[in-house]
Amino acid sequence: MEQSGCVPQQRTDEFPAAELLAAERRLRHAVRAGDLAGLRGLFHPQLVSVRPDGRCHGAEHEATALGTGTLAVDVIEPEETVATVVGATGVTRTVLFAQGHCDDVPFEARVLCTRTWVHDEATGWQVLATRVGEVDPEA
User: Running DSSP on this structure, what letter comes out for residue 11?
Assistant: P
Q: What gap in Å lies between CA 28 and CA 124, rounded to an integer?
A: 16
pLDDT at 9: 54
pTM for the whole structure:
0.84
For the chain, the domains span: 15-134
Contact 42, 26 (CB under 8 A): yes
Q: Average model confidence (pLDDT) for the chain? A: 89
Q: How confident is the model at residue 139 (pLDDT cuts 50, 70, 90)?
A: low
- Partner residues linked to 39 by β-bridges: none
d(CA 31, CA 73): 7
Q: 35-85 pLDDT, tens per residue? A: 999 999 999 999 999 998 899 999 999 999 999 999 999 999 999 999 999
Strand pairing category for 7-8 and 3-4 = antiparallel
pLDDT of the residue at 136? 77
CATH 3.10.450.50 describes domain 15-134? yes
Residue 31 buriedness (CB in 10 A; 0-12 / 13-18 / 19+): buried
